[in-house]
Chain A
Amino acid sequence: MKPAPFVRHAPKTLDEALKILAEVAPQDGRILAGGQSLVPVMAFRMARPAHLVDINEVAGLDKLAVEDGKLIVGARVRHATFHRPAAPGPLGALLAVVVRNIAHYPIRTRGTMCGSLANADPASEWCLTAATLGAQMVAKSASGERVIAADDFFEGIMSTALAEDELLAEVRLPLLPDGTKFGFNEFSRRAGDFAMSVALAVYEIKDGRIASPRLGVGGAEPHPRRIPEAEAALDGQAPGDMAFRAAAEAAAAAIDPLEDAQTDASYRRDLVRAVVRRALEASL
């Protein structure tokens, strides 16, 4: 469990980092941020990147700010940052709830939000959050910058729209209006394990009824996504057990479940039903 040989580059500026990345990307060069996923995989020699572009000393990537109604999270911002509200209003509170479900505290002090998004594990809490809230990903490379919507960003199991020479420099999360309700629930066999199913519910209340519902499910399909059928079951309903159960049923029926030895399709649907209902219940 010692990694294969690699060259570590430690740029100090973003330009320098992107320039090195452009050079080494064709030789399986990778970005090293928190390393909480990449390094174990390298230790198992399941990944053998020849080059690592270590961005931990790159100036400016620790940006954490609110601009134009969005929370900007730079590539070096660690998970643990979100234990305390990092944004005003419901968004900061939501992130503070979600973050506690990411692995264990020591991992959260090192791993980064952008790293999780770029890694795109199907069970990632941040990927679920980005998909549910409609985050924007800012990809930078030596040849320029582009903004990718969450819907277009996640492509499959650990697969994203990022090109090999692109760095996910920041993610932009829209602030949530005051009064926004949210709830989160995750099931795993042990505290801190990868979610076997995870759900995030976000909605507003208009005239006592659910408005603008966003209902995301992760850990159940190749990547987290919003479930329109469940959102339809919520929209315009009074928040409560009946609507929540209907949404949970709709989500369980709508997913195309990932299967593994521990989780057959019907069990995955059971779990999705459970986490969706509980996430909604937690929103009250």
Chain B
Amino acid sequence: MSKDAGGTVIGRSVPRLEDRPLLTGQGRFAANISFPGQLHMRVVRSAVAHGKLTGLDASAALNVPGVHAVWTAADVAHIPPIGFRLTGLTELEPYRQYVLARDRVRYVGEPVAAVFASDPYIAEDAADLVDVRTEDLPSIIDAAEQPGFYDDERRTEPAIIRKGYGDVDAAFAQAQHIVELELSIGRHSGVPIETRGVIATYDEERDVLAMYGAAKVPHWNRDSIAMMLGRKLETVQLFEGHVGGGFGIRGELYPEDLLACAAALKFRKPVKWIEDRREHLIAANHSRQQRHKIRAAVDDHGRILGLDDTFFHDNGAYMRTHAATVPDLAAAMLPGPYIVPAYRAHGHIRLTNKTPCGTYRAPGRYESTFVRERLMDAIAQRIQVDRLEIRRRNLIAKEQMPYDARTATLGTDIIYDSGDYAGLLRRVDRHYGLARAIARAEQRRSTGVLAGVGLAMFVEKSGLGPSDLVRITLHADGTTEVVTGSASVGQGMETAMAQICAGALGIDYATVRVIHGQTDRIERGGGAYASRVTVMTGEATHRAACDLRAKALAAAAPLMQTTPDRLTIAGGVITRVNGGASMPLAELARIVSLTGEGIFEYKHMVYPYGVHIAEVLVDAESGGVTVERYFVGYDIGRAVNPMLIEGQIAGGVAQGIGGALYEDFRYAENGEPLSVSFADYLMPTAHEIPRIELLLTEDAPSPLNSLGLKGAGEGGANAAGAAIASAVDDAIGLPGAITELPITPQRLKALLRGLPPH
């Protein structure tokens, strides 16, 4: 890579191009979109966790004035179950979800019917009148129990993820110490402020089905909707507007998307569906819930000889679009930044009678980092060395890069492209004054104040391929249009792409217009997930801008009576390198039509890494935890816009703290969901989250793309559970006490009393 490839606009915290409409109230979210004559859809959902569907009577609902139709499974019998986007093992296929339940319901919230009416209030009134009869079946709510029956033939364990290498048994046979832990992570999800929404229209004249409210992966969803509804690709178009938060959950293909699209086709009327918050908490993807039993074989110095992990992944009632992605990532990335000579992971995918699962920011890594870093703390305790030292002794060295981690996930071998883990730990230690912080906490504890410091390290992944395509067109009015098949979920991708384009082309980033999430503007696109946009779309944008620059110079050279190599572009003006004539790019665009194209195809991911430090205060009387200080050291390879990265990290930490201390989708024994509003599903607020401090480093640029880029989307969430747990252990003076997230005050108070938790 060339250090100067991006020019000076890259690396600057320039203001977001996205902000003006959002800050002036001109945002256009799904609920803002309406069409004349639209029908409103209301989904009738199962009220029982597991049951045989014995009957459904919609006659009372159909009698409500304003009700247009009520659909049941028979009306959508032609629609196949929703397919897998990632990690779609064939043995998981029988567990896919149909858009409306057929003969069984398997979780509270499962769609069983859909009401279409002239008004959303009428639709909800009528939905109340749909009589769904079920015969109760026993519910499974604990994934670590023995598997039960999914249907008459299949059991609730569709697959076991197996990963590993080396001779694990031999490692344990020769170990001086064996450290064993049992750890659980609660059930969380991204809870974007904008709930899901779909507005489907059918244009009979052009024979085009359009879906508004798309997000994250519009092209994949377009292809799937077309296939599932039996339509040609070019007759289905998806349009992304403003998106009020993604986090893995929003923009996946869900039953409601298909219902609205199928209804628009059938009724020849626009169909609008806006999810309410209660629905969102029981119907949109959940994530994370896992129980791990892990053992480490360790030598006398605390060096890991082998790891052996068995875990149970609670995927809820069906396999949705992410299929095995989360447990697969957990198993593949558990070793993290450490040398693990032998490794074995068995991840049991288990189905339960809960809301089905997908990914949530740092999927599989929030979980496995918690497990691994708890384990490192336990090893430190066993060997009697401090928590920094145990990590230093096990870190993969800079000289070992690129490092083959010998596992694979998402269709790619995990090969850490670059990294200086010990170097980052050193910089963080110095920058933060970790030793001083630990001493300060000790001092406070000696006065009876339960203060503690925790830390955790991790390797992130980003830049998932396989490819991205970008076209850049220079318009005669002086604007530059970047068309991508990528998506914006609010992360600032327009700004980042504009900066990369501007840097390569030699123009002002504010003149760049970035198009995303419109399937009619470009034939393909990877979308926005897996911290991939800056890396994949960024590199494609860089290439397209370089292509356009070369074309512009080639076209300008004869006009300026010179050769392209004697021309350069700065500030949107083509000039001769040794002075003289100049020509604005816009003027050139009036003479010739100029479009550059960039394709980036790459199957390997890039691997940023980081360190989290948490300082907490435990209230001995109530068991409450206050996060007093939170710090992240993160190596981004190369920062396109540090301000955006800070925002990504801070938001991720807030969500990570949510999972560590507050959030949990709880269920009663009978499978009834108990977290159905924000009074029960506790999102942290500004009161609970301290200012997030960040040391952003660029010590290990990726060798795998021109600019050295790595992603920033998930490094804030990744290690938050692990760091908070470590800090709480430290505060209460009970190493290893925290084995479960979230750390609730009741459980913590029980620990403080020395009693078993309730």
Near B by CB (< 8 A), chain A positions 239-273 give 261-264, 266-267, 270-271, 273
Which of chain A's residues have a CB closer than 8 A to the CB of B622? 187, 270-271, 274
Q: Is B688 an interface residue (CB 8 A)?
A: yes
Near A by CB (< 8 A), chain B positions 379-422 give none
Q: Is A277 an interface residue (CB 8 A)?
A: yes
Report yes or no: A45 in contact with B128, Cβ–Cβ below 8 A.
yes
Q: Could you jot down 7 A-B contacts, CB within 8 Å?
A: A1-B279, A190-B684, A191-B687, A193-B682, A261-B666, A266-B753, A266-B755
Mark interface residues in B727-758 (1 if CB within 8 Å of A CB, else 0). Answer: 00000000000000000111001100101001
Which of chain A's residues have a CB closer than 8 A to the CB of B124? 2
Known: A1-B276, A261-B666, A274-B619. 20 other contacts (CB 8 A): A2-B121, A4-B125, A44-B278, A44-B677, A189-B662, A189-B682, A189-B744, A190-B662, A190-B687, A191-B687, A193-B679, A193-B682, A261-B674, A262-B744, A263-B746, A267-B749, A267-B750, A267-B758, A270-B623, A271-B622
Q: Is B624 an interface residue (CB 8 A)?
A: yes
For the complex, give the distance between the alpha carbons of A10 and B279 in Å.
32
Interface size range of chain A in the complex: 20 to 34
For the complex, give the distance between the alpha carbons of A264 and B746 in Å.
8
Query: Taking A2-B121, A4-B125, A5-B125 as contacts, is the C-beta distance between A190 and B682 under 8 angstroms?
Result: yes
User: Shortest distance in angstroms between A262's beta carbon and chain B's nearest beta carbon?
Assistant: 6
For the complex, give the distance between the alpha carbons of A283 and B666 in Å.
38
For the complex, give the distance between the alpha carbons of A266 and B756 in Å.
12
Q: Is B685 an interface residue (CB 8 A)?
A: yes
Q: Is A194 an interface residue (CB 8 A)?
A: yes
Report yes or no: A277 in contact with B621, Cβ–Cβ below 8 A.
yes
Mark interface residues in A166-190 (1 if CB within 8 Å of B CB, else 0). Answer: 0000000000000000000001011
Q: Is B277 an interface residue (CB 8 A)?
A: yes
In the complex formed, the residue of B with least CB distance to A270 is: B749
Mark interface residues in B685-707 (1 if CB within 8 Å of A CB, else 0). Answer: 10110000000000000000000
Q: Is B27 an interface residue (CB 8 A)?
A: no
Q: Is B120 an interface residue (CB 8 A)?
A: yes
User: Shortest distance in angstroms between B642's beta carbon and chain A's nearest beta carbon?
Assistant: 30
Report yes or no: B128 in contact with A189, Cβ–Cβ below 8 A.
no
In the complex formed, the residue of A with least CB distance to B742 is: A189
Near B by CB (< 8 A), chain A positions 31-45 give 40, 44-45
Q: Is A156 an interface residue (CB 8 A)?
A: no
**Residue tally, chain B, CB below 8 Å to A:** 32
For the complex, give the distance between the alpha carbons of A4 and B276 in Å.
15
User: Shortest distance in angstroms between A2's beta carbon and chain B's nearest beta carbon?
Assistant: 5
Q: Is A192 an interface residue (CB 8 A)?
A: yes
Which of chain B's residues have a CB closer than 8 A to the CB of A191? 685, 687-688
For the complex, give the distance between the alpha carbons of A4 and B121 in Å.
8
For the complex, give the distance between the alpha carbons of A266 and B674 in Å.
22
For the complex, give the distance between the alpha carbons of A21 and B379 in Å.
69
- Using CB atoms and an 8 Å cutoff, list the residues of chain B in contact with chain A: 120-121, 124-125, 128, 276-279, 619, 621-624, 662, 666, 674, 677, 679, 682, 684-685, 687-688, 744-746, 749-750, 753, 755, 758
Query: Taking A262-B744, A263-B746, A273-B621 as contacts, is the C-beta distance between A192 and B277 under 8 angstroms?
Result: no
Which of B276, B749, B750 is packed against the most chain A CB atoms within 10 Å? B749
Q: How many CB-defined contacts (below 8 Å) exist between A and B?
A: 64
Report yes or no: B128 in contact with A4, Cβ–Cβ below 8 A.
yes
Query: Taking A1-B277, A2-B120, A2-B121 as contacts, is the C-beta distance between A190 and B685 under 8 angstroms?
Result: yes
For the complex, give the distance between the alpha carbons of A262 and B757 in Å.
11
For B746, give its contact among A5, A267, A278 (CB under 8 Å): A267
For the complex, give the distance between the alpha carbons of A191 and B682 in Å.
11
Which of chain A's residues have a CB closer than 8 A to the CB of B684? 190
Report yes or no: A1 in contact with B278, Cβ–Cβ below 8 A.
yes
Near B by CB (< 8 A), chain A positions 188-205 give 189-194
Which of chain B's residues have a CB closer than 8 A to the CB of A45? 128
For the complex, give the distance between the alpha carbons of A267 and B621 in Å.
10
For the complex, give the distance between the alpha carbons of A176 and B323 in Å.
65
Which of chain A's residues have a CB closer than 8 A to the CB of B688? 190-191
User: Shortest distance in angstroms between B415's beta carbon and chain A's nearest beta carbon?
Assistant: 42
Mark interface residues in A148-170 (1 if CB within 8 Å of B CB, else 0). Answer: 00000000000000000000000
Which of A190, A191, A193, A277 is packed against the most chain B CB atoms within 10 Å? A190
Which of chain A's residues have a CB closer than 8 A to the CB of B682? 189-190, 193
Which of chain B's residues have a CB closer than 8 A to the CB of A278? 621
For the complex, give the distance between the alpha carbons of A263 and B753 in Å.
15
Which of chain B's residues have a CB closer than 8 A to the CB of A270? 621-623, 749, 753
For the complex, give the distance between the alpha carbons of A187 and B748 in Å.
15
For the complex, give the distance between the alpha carbons of A190 and B680 in Å.
11
For the complex, give the distance between the alpha carbons of A189 and B125 in Å.
35
User: Shortest distance in angstroms between B281's beta carbon and chain A's nearest beta carbon?
Assistant: 11
For the complex, give the distance between the alpha carbons of A270 and B744 in Å.
14
Query: Taking A262-B746, A263-B746, A267-B758 as contacts, is the C-beta distance between A189 and B278 under 8 angstroms?
Result: no
In the complex formed, the residue of A with least CB distance to B683 is: A190
Which of chain A's residues have a CB closer than 8 A to the CB of B121? 2, 5
For the complex, give the distance between the alpha carbons of A270 and B746 in Å.
10
For the complex, give the distance between the alpha carbons of A5 and B679 in Å.
25
Which of chain B's residues have a CB closer than 8 A to the CB of A192? 685, 687
For the complex, give the distance between the alpha carbons of A40 and B277 in Å.
12
Which of chain A's residues have a CB closer than 8 A to the CB of B662? 189-190
In the complex formed, the residue of B with least CB distance to A187 is: B622
For the complex, give the distance between the alpha carbons of A261 and B664 in Å.
12
Which of chain B's residues have a CB closer than 8 A to the CB of A261? 666, 674
Which of chain B's residues have a CB closer than 8 A to the CB of A193? 679, 682
In the complex formed, the residue of B with least CB distance to A271 is: B622
For the complex, give the distance between the alpha carbons of A263 and B746 in Å.
6
